[in-house]
Structure 1
């Protein structure tokens, strides 16, 4: 950090994270457009490909979102025939989200997107893994500070 540069934009960790996040979502956009997903829809689908037929609350928790913020996203995925919203037999208040066959089929296209993004990062796989681990640690520490 430069002397007396404490408040320079380019010296801010928050800006480095923010601008990197913007660049990453911009990189994803044309790839996701090709399969008919927004970035937020893609994140929801990633959660469902990992654990299908889970509650909206569980999806929201995994993504660090409020359930209400994801409701329009889920409704759009349902309108596109990728997921179904089903009331839990055990608790009618609980809404479970499950993949349709079409939603499951999109998984293969997502694997190709993932490979394209990895290539565009221009980092060796061990460096990507190391960066992700560090970002996970940072996120966890920040979340603990918020609560």
Structure 2
């Protein structure tokens, strides 16, 4: 089950998060911040402009994995960076960092990326996922 926050609530979260992150470029993507049963993900920003964090909150213990995937021109996807390997996390707010780099440590090319967060809730085979589309570009 999921619930959507109105656009005004997203704008407030985006502005507050951007200010806290030192003015990073706001995300390009959904107009609603999706709150999924079990966890919540805050908007992410252009990692090329300034290092920014992926913030999320778990409502209950879960196995979590975060990946950054590049969306190719033909619609296919390729893994750019595994931000976290699957690991058990306790409830509460969390932060994971992606600095716009690929597996070789060099900046990933400009383009469209998805930040994917997968959470497998304890005691369940149910996996919940959340994606945020963001355009990464150098300014």
TM-score (norm 1): 0.22
Higher relative contact order (CA 8 A, sep 6+): 2
Higher share in helix: 1
Higher share in strand: 2
TM-score (norm 2): 0.23
